Amino acid sequence: MKKIVVIGAGASGLVTSIKASNKNNKVTLLEKNNICGKKILITGNGKCNYFNEDFNINHYHSNNIDILSNIITKENKKLILDFWNNLGIIPKIKNNYYYPASNLAATIQNTLILEAKNHNIDIKTNTEVLDIDYINNKFIITTNNETIECDKLVISSGSKAAPQTGSDGLGYKLLSKFNHTIIEPLPALVQLRSTGSFLKEWNGIRTDVKVKLYENNNLIKEEEGEIQLTDYGVSGICIFQLSGLVSRGLYNDKEERLTIDFLPYLNISSRKELVEYLNNRNNNLKDRTITELLEGMLNYKLINIILKQNKINNNKHWNTLSNKDKLNIVTYLKEFPLDILDTNSFNKCQVCTGGIPLSEININTMESLKQKDLYITGELLDVDGECGGYNLSFAWLSGLLAGINISGDNND
């Protein structure tokens, strides 16, 4: 009987353990926390958005995106969904987002733990891995409680994201012993930090916008959705989707700048068109100050900020403004500039960008190309997805592929 050890009882570690276990394998799962799947509980605001119907490569980032595309497939989409269906999870699907019908992340956590126990997996909580050695074709794992020997080892210990859940980056240290490269892990799906006298004034505003990200003055991506304006910068899903790119750009000493379109609902693309729109609005709404003219179009705090930034008295009337002032106003309405200085810390991010390059693993089995019988799954790998269940989807998939390969039974 082969001995299998999985380090980390998070999303990918639990799935790996379940799929790796069979009558020929004894699986031991090591977890430093006192419970398994702790991070699962905080996903989807406690509801666990565990999958997305639009499962495709366009929602992922990696330095080896071509390698990743080999497993983000229709066949593997079915593999993930069949796994959950076989565990009895009934999905509640909303806008392509999959949630358990209970709307509780604990349902996903409890289901995985129950399945692991049904597979007779030896779960050791409160167990911290201190070191790993490879001697005479065996992995020797030193923990705070004992020394364990195994034939195959899976490292699923998570990235540096949300360290309060136990993700402290241990896996990177362990994998570096086996000559794996570590692409610097950086916060992703995280808030962005800026500076400006207006930040305190706009703190707390939520509004629908279109955001463009410029790197060294080159447009690299844009997103639409709700933004949350904060006293340190910006947040919201549309910001999270850009944040991994910002993290990497800032790490590489590039200038990162956002422009915010506060009026995307008008479907006006040019400043000239918006000036004309406001001219017509002013003709229809007579005797209004510029503040009164804009009120009804966006939050009054934003109106005050835009006028202050352009040194325009809010009691002036639109038709008394110079063409330059009009253009300045519409520029800030459609392309409010925001220099990004930093992201929030690992404590605030949902995932990391960076990790072990996919070029150093067999993408179909998650086995290391540096060390035989060593497997790497989940967040440790250089894969990060957008909001919407994509990161959990990759965790499930990497765990399934690793576990199936270890068990040696594709029908397990």
- Phi, then psi, of 383 in degrees rounded to 5: -145, 125
Q: CA distances (Å), 49 to each of 15, 56, 103, 389, 395, in order?
A: 17, 16, 9, 5, 13
**Distance from C-alpha of 286 to C-alpha of 77, rounded to nearest angstrom:** 58
Sign, CA dihedral 394-395-399-400, equals negative
Q: Show Cβ contacts of residue 180 under 8 Å, excluding neighbours closer than 6 positions.
A: 356, 360, 368, 370, 376
Cβ–Cβ under 8 Å, residues 109 and 37: yes
Q: Please, what is the Cα angle at 331 between 330 and 334, to 5 degrees?
A: 80
Q: Which residues of the chain have pLDDT under 70?
A: 409-412
Residue ranges in 1-126 assigned as alpha helix (H): 11-20, 65-68, 74-86, 105-118
What's the rounded Cα separation, in Å, for the pair 306 and 332?
Answer: 6
* Residue 374 token pair: 């060593």
CA 224, CA 226: separation in Å to the nearest integer? 7
State residue 410's pLDDT score. Answer: 41
Locate the domains of the chain by residue range.
2-187+351-407, 191-343
Strands 97-100 and 91-94: antiparallel
Count CA atoms closer than 13 A to 119's CA, side-chain side: 27
Is 342 within 8 Å of 248 (Cβ atoms)?
Answer: no
Domain 2-187+351-407 has CATH 3.30.365.10: no
The H or E element spanning position 27 is: strand 25-30
What is residue 411's predicted lDDT score, i.e. its pLDDT?
A: 40
